[in-house]
Amino acid sequence: MDIVVSGIRPTGLLHLGNYFGALRNFIKMQNENRCYFFIADYHSLTTHPKAEHLHQNIRNVLIDYLAAGLDPEKAAIYVQSDVPQVCELSLLLSMQVYVGELQRVSSFKEKVRRQPDNVNAGLLNYPVLMAADILLHRADKVPVGKDQEQHLELTRDFAQRFNHIHGTDYFKLPVAYNFGSELVKIPGLDGTTKMSKSDNENSCIFLSDAPEVIRKKVMKAVSDAGPTEPNQPKPQAIENLFTLMKAVSAPETLQFFEEQYNQCQIRYGDMKKQLAADITAYIAPIYERILELRSDDDYLRKVLQRGAEQARESATQTIQDVRELIGIKPL
């Protein structure tokens, strides 16, 4: 049985990008593997959230996880900071990671551009902590979206380096859990290539958006006046609408609008109406479960307690093994 590890930062509500990147196929995934799904609260501290927001968002992510189908009977669901062994593993790995290689990571360079007043050491060390999350349970597979590909590659580098330095094959080299296809990148409604709440909340469809909110957001999505010649390549914003439709709609629906586009007969108002209805139908079961779970604090607490116990058990074993491999052991 393979080990699967994945995490999501509690920076807000989960959107369709998170769903298709990390949560799709939960049911199959947790039936076939040993899964550890956590809420990456340490990682979210790089942007200095307010304490009450962080606290609320941890709860939100947990609710979204459960509503999306993650089953605490089958998978360990926990908060990263409830398993502090990850900090020790991150520290130990960081001794074998070079500052230069961390400075070259794309997500770090992007953060430096975006938040030049807050280039903290946590940002630089972000990929090491992420590698520690994954290696802590000696994962085989990591379900992530395309944006996390480089972090996963670094995790493999660090694992391989550790193995090489200590003459062991202790860490497996984890690969993306891509469900047999390319890693996905769900676009935003604002014409950008990635749905992301840090860019623009209105460009995101959250799993907890009510049907009328979804309709409003989708109707306002960026489009244009339509093609003037048949079979033209699509501009980015239009490509985005088709990508979203491919994710949630029936193949015939997609094909219908593709043909309309290619024949210059497309009416984006109609396409958006259809897209909004299909997104709503797609997330309806998740949305309903979110509403139920919101009032069930007792259950939520129990899930996290149990998940943390399971994750700590696996983490404690790894830390014990790693300490021994590097020469930290009783005299």
Query: Which residues in 220-249 contact ligand TYM (CB under 6 A)?
Result: none
**Residue 144 binding ligand TYM, by CB under 6 A:** yes
**Residue 145 binding ligand TYM, by CB under 6 A:** yes
What are the φ and ψ backbone dihedral angles of 275, each rounded to 5 degrees?
-60, -45
Nearer to ligand TYM, 204 or 238 (CB): 204
- The CA distance from 93 to 106, in Å, is 20
- The CA distance from 283 to 305, in Å, is 28
Is 185 a known active-site residue?
Answer: no
With residues binned 3-state (H G I as helix, E B as strand, rest as coil), the percentages for the chain, rounded to 5, are 60, 10, 35
Query: DSSP code of 15?
Result: B
Minimum distance from residue 127 beta carbon to ligand TYM (Å): 8
Minimum distance from residue 229 beta carbon to ligand TYM (Å): 31
Instruction: Give, rounded to a whole angstrom, the gap between the first and last alpha carbons of the chain.
Output: 36
Among 92, 93, 134, 154, binds ligand TYM (CB under 6 A): 134
Among residues 74, 172, 185, 194, the one annotated as catalytic is 194
SS3 244: helix
Minimum distance from residue 60 beta carbon to ligand TYM (Å): 12
Nearer to ligand TYM, 166 or 194 (CB): 194
Q: Which helix (H) or strand (E) holds 265?
A: none
Query: Which residues in 161-190 contact ligand TYM (CB under 6 A)?
Result: 184-186
* Contact indicator for 77, 64 with CB cutoff of 8 Å: no
Nearer to ligand TYM, 133 or 278 (CB): 133
SS3 206: strand
Number of CB atoms found within 10 A of residue 153's CB: 14
Among 9, 137, 215, 217, binds ligand TYM (CB under 6 A): 9
Among residues 111, 141, 217, 272, the one annotated as catalytic is 111
* Contact indicator for 111, 123 with CB cutoff of 8 Å: yes
Burial group, residue 219, by CB count within 10 angstroms (0-12, 13-18, 19+): middle
Minimum distance from residue 289 beta carbon to ligand TYM (Å): 19
* Contact indicator for 38, 316 with CB cutoff of 8 Å: no
**Residue 195 binding ligand TYM, by CB under 6 A:** yes
Any long-range contacts for 180-184 (C-beta under 8 Å, 24+ apart)? Answer: 182/146, 183/21, 183/144, 183/145, 183/146, 183/149, 184/20, 184/21, 184/145, 184/146, 184/247
Contacts with ligand TYM by CB under 6 A: the residue count is 27
Nearer to ligand TYM, 17 or 72 (CB): 17
Number of CB atoms found within 10 A of residue 50's CB: 8
Minimum distance from residue 182 beta carbon to ligand TYM (Å): 11
**Residue 66 binding ligand TYM, by CB under 6 A:** no
Minimum distance from residue 39 beta carbon to ligand TYM (Å): 9
Q: Pattern of binders to ligand TYM over 43-62, x per CB under 6 A?
A: x-------------------
Provide the Cα torsion 200, 178, 79, 31; round to 10°.
130
**Residue 93 binding ligand TYM, by CB under 6 A:** no
Minimum distance from residue 139 beta carbon to ligand TYM (Å): 8
Q: Pattern of binders to ligand TYM over 10-39, x per CB under 6 A?
A: -------xx-xxx-----------------
SS3 266: coil
Q: Which residues in this chain contact ligand TYM in the complex, by CB under 6 A?
A: 5-9, 17-18, 20-22, 40, 43, 130, 133-134, 142, 144-145, 147-148, 151, 184-186, 194-196
Point out the residues that are catalytic: 111, 194, 197
